[in-house]
Amino acid sequence: MSDLSKSDAEDLAESFEHVLVRVEAAAQQFVQGDSTGIKERWSHADDVSILGGGGGHSRGWEQVRQSLEGGASLFRADRVSGHVEVDIIARGTSGDLSYTVAIEHGEALMKGHDEPRPVMLRVTQIYRREADTWKIIHRHADALTASR
């Protein structure tokens, strides 16, 4: 049985919607080499974790911060800016936890390349309500491969 009234649950859902818009904007910055926005969307707690799209993993804010900065440093901004779209397949909220399952796709300039390269990831993110907002506490991303 939930402790939330219908209006409380609607307020949480509305707030989560706004956070998702900010997370997508931060993803745009990320594929242009800037990790600032996405780091603001993360919880800075010791229990955060990331299973990155490049195969690595980190636990605790200090390691996750370094992973985010390292990931963003693989991209660069130039005359052609990278872009990514986040297509949410599923999402939900229960109490102080929310999640999204999404496909992130687009293209970005990678360091060492002159032309944009495709970005295609399957991503699951878990969020926790902290103070008056939702913060990412876990991300699992891997390459999207063609289905049979």
Give the pLDDT confidence of 94-120 residue by residue, as tens digits. 999 999 999 999 998 888 888 888 889
Q: Domain map of the chain by residue range? A: 6-143
What is the distance between the alpha carbons of residues 122 and 143, in angstroms, rounded to a whole number? 6
In this structure, what is the dihedral angle of CA atoms 17, 99, 124, 104, given to the nearest 10 degrees? Answer: -10
What is the distance between the alpha carbons of residues 72 and 140, in angstroms, rounded to a whole number? 16
Q: What percent of the chain has pLDDT over 90?
A: 64
Q: What is the assigned CATH class of domain 6-143?
A: alpha beta
pTM score, two decimals? 0.86
Question: What amino acid occupies position 6?
Answer: K
pLDDT in the model for residue 43: 97
What is the distance between the alpha carbons of residues 34 and 50, in angstroms, rounded to a whole number? 18
What is the distance between the alpha carbons of residues 140 and 102, in angstroms, rounded to a whole number? 11
